[in-house]
Homo-oligomer: A and B are copies of this chain.
C-alpha cells in the first residue's frame, strides 16, 4: 500500500468474468476496472486491489460478470400490449388486434411510456442495449436518452400512412431530422427501418440504401419471416424477397435481416459472402408458427447471428436469457445435432453478434479495455444456480434474468442489488395500468 494506486470509478470483482472475447474464456477471481464510461482494465482481484483506488468497490464473491446483453430486435412500445392477443395466426393477430389497437393509441406518449416500461424490464433482465423498431423515433430517442439506456433508434419506412408520417417523403424527412438532432448522443445510434419487403416499395428501398450508405447505419428489416411472404413476393415481383433486396443493392454488411425462417443454401451462402447479419427471434417464430431459422447452418457458414426477443405483443417478454436458451435448444433440434449452437455460441449471439448487427462491435458486446462499460453481474447462490460446473453453460442452460443483481451502462450503475437506479418504477407501472384500461376499451368498445 506504499505505492500510489491509480484512481478509477468502479472496481468490480467477481468469482467469474466472461469477456466473450477471447471466445470461450472464463477468468476466475478477476476484477473489471471502470473509469468514466469505459473499461480500463481486467485483471486478477489481488492485482486490481493493489493497483487501483476506486470510488466504488463492488465485491461479488459468488457472481459472474459479463457484457450486458444486446436485444437485437424489439418493438418496445408494444410492451403496453403484452399478452393482448395470443394463440392467433399472424394475419388475424395483426388485422384483428394489433393494428386496430395501434391505430387507436399510437402517439408519442404511447411510445415513450411503452419504452419506459421496457427499459425497466430490460435492466432487471441484464439487457443493456436494444435495437428498436417502431414509429416516432423522436419519442424513442428522447426516452432512451432520458433513462440513459443504449439503443438504436429506428427511422421507420412503410408504404402506409401512420400517426407518425403520412407519405414516403414525410417518413424520410422526419426520421432524418431526428437522426440529425441526436446523432452525437453517446448512447444513441440509428438504423433505417423499412418494415418488410411486402410493405415497402422498390423506390423507398433504393432511398433507404442511399441513406444507409451516406450515414453508415444499418438497415433493420423483417425479411423472410414466413413462407407466405416468399410466395407473395414471387407472385408480385417474380423474385424471392432476398433476391429483390439484392437487386436493389441492399444485401450487404449494413443489412440486419430479422427472422429469416425461409432460407435456401444459396441464400445462406449469399448472406455469408456479403456480411449480412441475421437477427434470430426464436420464440416469436415459434409462437407465430412462422418457421425455423437455420441458426446453426448460418453460424457454420460464417454469418453473424444475433438474437432478439421481438415485441412483447408476440413473445411476451424481453427476456434475453430465455431467448438465448431457446436459440441454443432449438438450433440443435433444427440441425438434428446436439452439439450445434453450443452455450458459448448462444452467449456470443446475445452479446457481440448483436453489437455487430447494430454496427457497434467496436464499442460494446465484449469486456475489453477501451470498450464501453456496459456490464452485468449475476448472483449464482440460489438453489437453481447450484451446483455450478461451468459458468457459460450455467448461464445459457439454467440461467435466469432473476439472477441479475447489478447492471452498468457506459459506467453508470442502472441496477444495484436488483433495485433500479434513477427510475420511478411505481409511476411507470401506474402509467402502464392506465394504458391497459385504454387498450381494453379499444378491444371491447
Contact = CB atoms under 8 A, between A and B. Distances in A.
Interface residues of A, number: 69
Interface stretch (A4-12, A185-193, A314-322): A314-322
A316 B321 CA distance: 13
B315 A397 contact: yes
A28 to B, nearest CB: 14
Interface string A388-410: 11100110011010100000000
Contact of A339 (B87, B124, B389): B87
Nearest to A430: B386
B383 A124 contact: yes
B387 A433 contact: yes
A366 interface: no
Contacts of A381: 429
A326 interface: yes
Interface in A291-335: 291-292, 312, 315-317, 319, 322, 326, 328-330, 332-333, 335
A283 B329 contact: yes
A117 interface: yes
Contacts of A47: none
Interface string A81-124: 11110111110010000000000000000000000010011001
A342 interface: yes
A397 B117 contact: no
A279 interface: no
B436 A384 contact: no
Nearest to A425: B383
Nearest to A429: B386
A428 interface: yes
A309 to B, nearest CB: 11
A299 to B, nearest CB: 13
A397 B289 contact: no
A64 interface: no
A312 B319 CA distance: 21
Contacts of A83: 387-390, 393-394, 397-398
Among A317, A319, A343, A384, the most chain B Cβ lie within 10 Å of the Cβ of A384
A45 B332 CA distance: 48
A330 B428 CA distance: 33
Nearest to A85: B389
A21 interface: no
Interface of A: 80-84, 86-90, 93, 117, 120-121, 124-125, 283, 285-292, 312, 315-317, 319, 322, 326, 328-330, 332-333, 335-340, 342-343, 381-384, 386-390, 393-394, 397-398, 400, 402, 425, 428-429, 432-433, 435-436, 439-440
24 contacts: A80-B387, A83-B388, A83-B389, A83-B394, A84-B387, A84-B389, A87-B343, A117-B386, A120-B383, A121-B384, A124-B384, A287-B332, A291-B333, A316-B394, A316-B398, A317-B398, A319-B384, A322-B322, A381-B429, A383-B432, A387-B432, A387-B436, A387-B439, A389-B440
Kindly list the 4 A-B residue pairs having the minimum CB-CB distance in the complex, ordered from nearest. Answer: A387-B436, A286-B329, A87-B342, A316-B397
